[in-house]
A and B are shown apart, each in its own frame.
Chain A
Amino acid sequence: MIPEYGLFALIMTFVTAIALAVVPMWGSWRGHSATMSSARPLAIVMFAFCLLSFLCLTYLFLTDDFSVVVVASNSNSLLPDFYKFSAVWGNHEGSMLLWVLVLAGWTLAVAIFSADLPKILLARVLSIMGIISVGFVGFSLLTSNPFARHLPSAPMDGSDLNPLLQDPGLIIHPPLLYMGYVGFSVAFAFAIAALMGGRLDAAWARWSRPWTNVAWGFLTLGIMLGSWWAYYELGWGGWWFWDPVENASFMPWLAGTALVHSLAVTEKRGVFKSWTVLLAIATFSLSLLGAFLVRSGVLTSVHAFATDPERGLYILVFLLIVVGGSLLLFALRAPAVNSEIRYSWLSRETLLLFNNVVFLVATLTILFGTLFPLLMDALGQGKYSVGPPYFNAVFIPLMALLVPAMGIGPFTRWRADSGARWTRPLMYSAVVSLLMALILPLLGGAMNVWVSLAVLLAVWIVLGLVTDIAIKRGNSGTWLSVLRRQTPSYWGMVIAHLGFAMTIISVVVVTQWNMEKDLRMVPGDTVTFGDYQFQFEGVEKVRGSNYDADEATFSAFYQSRLIAELKPQKRRYFASGQIMTEAAIDAGFTRDLYVALGEPLGADDAWSVRLHYKPLVRWMWIGATLIGFGAFITAFDKRYRRTRSVKELAPGVSHA
Chain B
Amino acid sequence: MHPKRKKRLWLVIGVVIFSSAGIGLIAYGLSGNINLFYPPAEVAAGKAPHGQSIRVGGMVVEGSIQRSTSSLEVRFEVTDYAAVVPVIYSGILPDLFDEGQGVVAAGMLTEQGLFQATEVLAKHDENYMPPEVADALEKAGKLP
Chain A contact residues, CB within 8 Å of chain B: 162, 164, 235, 297-300, 302, 304, 306-307, 345, 357, 361, 364-365, 368-369, 372, 382-387, 389-394, 397-398, 518-520, 576, 578-581, 596, 598-599, 601-603, 608, 610
Q: Give which listed residue, B72, B106, B132, contacts A383 with CB less than 8 A.
A: B132
Q: Does B127 reach chain A (CB closer than 8 Å)? A: yes
Q: Give which listed residue, A304, A390, A578, contacts B29 with CB less than 8 A.
A: A390
Q: Give which listed residue, A298, A302, A368, A602, contacts B69 with CB less than 8 A.
A: A602
B92 — nearest CB in chain A belongs to which residue? Answer: A598
Q: Does B124 reach chain A (CB closer than 8 Å)? A: yes
Q: Please name all residues of chain A whose beta carbon is closer than 8 Å to the beta carbon of B22 when the two chains form the complex.
A: 361, 364-365, 394
**Known A-B contacts A300-B132, A598-B93, A603-B69; A357 and B14 likewise in contact (beta carbons under 8 Å):** yes
Known: A385-B35, A393-B28, A397-B25. 19 other contacts (CB 8 A): A164-B124, A297-B131, A300-B132, A302-B124, A357-B15, A365-B25, A383-B131, A386-B30, A386-B33, A386-B34, A390-B33, A398-B25, A518-B91, A519-B72, A520-B70, A578-B96, A578-B126, A581-B95, A599-B93
Q: 0/1 per residue, B97-130, Cβ < 8 Å to A?
A: 0000000101000000000000000001111101
Q: Give which listed residue, A364, A387, A397, A579, contacts B33 with CB less than 8 A.
A: A387
Q: Give which listed residue, B26, B32, B126, contacts A368 with CB less than 8 A.
A: B26
Q: Please name all residues of chain B whose beta carbon is closer than 8 Å to the beta carbon of A368 when the two chains form the complex.
A: 26
Q: Does B142 reach chain A (CB closer than 8 Å)? A: no
Q: Please name all residues of chain A whose beta carbon is closer than 8 Å to the beta carbon of B21 when the two chains form the complex.
A: 361
Question: Shortest Cβ distance from A312 into chain B, in angstroms?
Answer: 12
Q: Does B37 reach chain A (CB closer than 8 Å)? A: yes
A580 — nearest CB in chain B belongs to which residue? Answer: B95
Interface on chain A toward B: helix, strand, loop, or mixed SS? mixed
A383 — nearest CB in chain B belongs to which residue? Answer: B37
- A235 and B37 contact, CB distance less than 8 A: no
- B71 and A520 contact, CB distance less than 8 A: yes
Q: Please name all residues of chain A whose beta carbon is closer than 8 Å to the beta carbon of B96 when the two chains form the complex.
A: 578-579
- B67 and A384 contact, CB distance less than 8 A: no
Q: Please name all residues of chain B whose beta carbon is closer than 8 Å to the beta carbon of A580 when the two chains form the complex.
A: 95
- Give Cα A649 to B93, complex, Å: 63
Q: Please name all residues of chain A whose beta carbon is closer than 8 Å to the beta carbon of B106 when the two chains form the complex.
A: 385, 387
- B92 and A385 contact, CB distance less than 8 A: no
A603 — nearest CB in chain B belongs to which residue? Answer: B69
**Known A-B contacts A357-B14, A383-B132, A610-B92; A576 and B33 likewise in contact (beta carbons under 8 Å):** no
Q: Give which listed residue, B18, B91, B104, B131, contacts A361 with CB less than 8 A.
A: B18
Q: Does B36 reach chain A (CB closer than 8 Å)? A: yes
**Known A-B contacts A357-B14, A385-B37; A599 and B92 likewise in contact (beta carbons under 8 Å):** yes
- Give Cα A307 to B131, complex, Å: 9
- B33 and A383 contact, CB distance less than 8 A: no
- Give Cα A602 to B74, complex, Å: 13
Q: Please name all residues of chain B whose beta carbon is closer than 8 Å to the beta carbon of A581 when the two chains form the complex.
A: 95
Question: Shortest Cβ distance from B14 into chain A, in angstroms?
Answer: 7
Q: Does B19 reach chain A (CB closer than 8 Å)? A: yes
- B71 and A576 contact, CB distance less than 8 A: no
Q: Please name all residues of chain B whose beta carbon is closer than 8 Å to the beta carbon of A369 when the two chains form the complex.
A: 26, 29-30
- B33 and A393 contact, CB distance less than 8 A: yes
Q: Please name all residues of chain B whose beta carbon is closer than 8 Å to the beta carbon of A162 when the two chains form the complex.
A: 124-125
**When A and B form their complex, which 5 residue pairs have the shortest distance between CB atoms, in order from nearest?**
A383-B37, A393-B29, A598-B92, A390-B29, A389-B33
Q: 0/1 per residue, B1-24, Cβ < 8 Å to A?
A: 000000100100011001101100
- Give Cα A458 to B132, complex, Å: 42
- Which B16-69 residues have a C-beta within 8 angstroms of A? 18-19, 21-22, 25-26, 28-30, 32-37, 55, 67, 69
- Give Cα A307 to B36, complex, Å: 22
Q: Please name all residues of chain B whose beta carbon is closer than 8 Å to the beta carbon of A361 when the two chains form the complex.
A: 18-19, 21-22
- Give Cα A259 to B80, complex, Å: 48
- B130 and A300 contact, CB distance less than 8 A: yes
Q: Please name all residues of chain B whose beta carbon is closer than 8 Å to the beta carbon of A389 when the two chains form the complex.
A: 29, 32-33
A73 — nearest CB in chain B belongs to which residue? Answer: B127
Question: Shortest Cβ distance from A35 into chain B, in angstroms?
Answer: 44
B55 — nearest CB in chain A belongs to which residue? Answer: A385
- B33 and A578 contact, CB distance less than 8 A: no
- A235 and B95 contact, CB distance less than 8 A: yes
Question: Shortest Cβ distance from A172 into chain B, in angstroms?
Answer: 21
- Give Cα A357 to B12, complex, Å: 12
Q: Give which listed residue, A300, A393, A599, A608, contacts B131 with CB less than 8 A.
A: A300
- Give Cα A297 to B36, complex, Å: 19
- Give Cα A164 to B96, complex, Å: 11
Q: Please name all residues of chain A whose beta carbon is closer than 8 Å to the beta carbon of B70 when the two chains form the complex.
A: 520
Question: Shortest Cβ distance from B132 into chain A, in angstroms?
Answer: 5
- A387 and B34 contact, CB distance less than 8 A: yes
- B130 and A518 contact, CB distance less than 8 A: no
Question: Shortest Cβ distance from A377 into chain B, in angstroms?
Answer: 9
- Give Cα A382 to B47, complex, Å: 12
- A601 and B125 contact, CB distance less than 8 A: no
Q: Please name all residues of chain B whose beta carbon is closer than 8 Å to the beta carbon of A299 when the two chains form the complex.
A: 131
- A382 and B37 contact, CB distance less than 8 A: yes
- Give Cα A389 to B118, complex, Å: 14
- Which B69-86 residues have a C-beta within 8 angstroms of A? 69-72
Q: Give which listed residue, A384, A386, A610, contacts B37 with CB less than 8 A.
A: A384
- B125 and A578 contact, CB distance less than 8 A: yes
Q: Give which listed residue, A383, A386, A397, contacts B135 with CB less than 8 A.
A: A383
- A304 and B33 contact, CB distance less than 8 A: no
Q: Please name all residues of chain A whose beta carbon is closer than 8 Å to the beta carbon of B32 when the two chains form the complex.
A: 389
Q: Give which listed residue, B18, B67, B69, B71, contacts A357 with CB less than 8 A.
A: B18
- A608 and B135 contact, CB distance less than 8 A: no
- B128 and A304 contact, CB distance less than 8 A: yes
Q: Please name all residues of chain A whose beta carbon is closer than 8 Å to the beta carbon of B7 when the two chains form the complex.
A: 345
Question: Shortest Cβ distance from B133 into chain A, in angstroms?
Answer: 9
- Give Cα A195 to B129, complex, Å: 45
A606 — nearest CB in chain B belongs to which residue? Answer: B69
Q: Please name all residues of chain A whose beta carbon is closer than 8 Å to the beta carbon of B30 when the two chains form the complex.
A: 369, 372, 386, 390
- B72 and A382 contact, CB distance less than 8 A: no
Q: Please name all residues of chain A whose beta carbon is closer than 8 Å to the beta carbon of B28 when the two chains form the complex.
A: 393-394
**Known A-B contacts A576-B126, A608-B92; A372 and B34 likewise in contact (beta carbons under 8 Å):** yes
- Give Cα A518 to B30, complex, Å: 29
- Give Cα A273 to B95, complex, Å: 51
Q: Please name all residues of chain B whose beta carbon is closer than 8 Å to the beta carbon of A357 when the two chains form the complex.
A: 14-15, 18
Q: Please name all residues of chain B whose beta carbon is closer than 8 Å to the beta carbon of A610 when the two chains form the complex.
A: 92
